[in-house]
Amino acid sequence: MQTVRLRLAPYVPGDAEEALVINGDEEVMRFLGGVQHRTPEEMHTFLTWVHDKYASYRESGLPYGAWAVRELDGGALVGTALLKPMPDADGEDTPSIEVGWHLARAAWGKGYATEFGRALVARAFAELDIKTLNAVVPPGNVRSEAVARRLGFTHIGQTEAFYGRLLEHYTLNRP
């Protein structure tokens, strides 16, 4: 996928060192469960798992993904874009579909999450037979809540149905 300023491509294990700069940043990961991968080897193993998981979805004809987001001007990795089934507290996929994002600190405030979020929303409604799309945000993450609102999502309250933790739940109905 491509937007005006960004290119989204599936993560590959070779992205490990660049991804570690983002995913190893305590401030970036503060609302995402903290830093979980601290070495290039750990990130490589994780990205191998991500690549294989989303490749299996694509092989099944599903448009889900965890994409590396890169600037068109220079190709710098600036974040992650997600379109996927939401996991329950045990990590099992539910029928609920979400869009998600996280960005490198250097990319904050540039409108990137909103830009690629719009592309994800369009893809979800074009390629999936769903009535509602979801976004979940940890309480206190006002930047991500603002992105959800800019994308047209409505806050419907808090939930513990996904990821095994309390989250602010946003939904967007098919136009």
Rounded-to-integer distance, Cα 2 and Cα 86, Å: 24
Query: Is residue 87 pLDDT above 60, yes or no?
Result: yes
* Architecture of domain 6-130 in this structure: 3-Layer(aba) Sandwich (3.40)
Q: What CA–CA distances, in Å, run from 29 to 23, 105, 172?
A: 6, 10, 25
Higher pLDDT, residue 68 or 134 = 134
Q: What is the pLDDT of residue 28?
A: 65
Instruction: Parse the chain into domains and list their residue ranges.
Output: 6-130
**Residue 156: its H or E element:** strand 154-159
Provide the pLDDT for residue 35.
41
The tens digit of pLDDT for each residue in 11-65 reads 888 888 888 888 776 676 565 654 466 687 888 888 888 888 889 898 988 999 9
Residues 109-139 pLDDT 10s? 999 999 999 999 999 999 999 999 999 999 9
Question: Which pLDDT score is estimated for 123?
Answer: 95
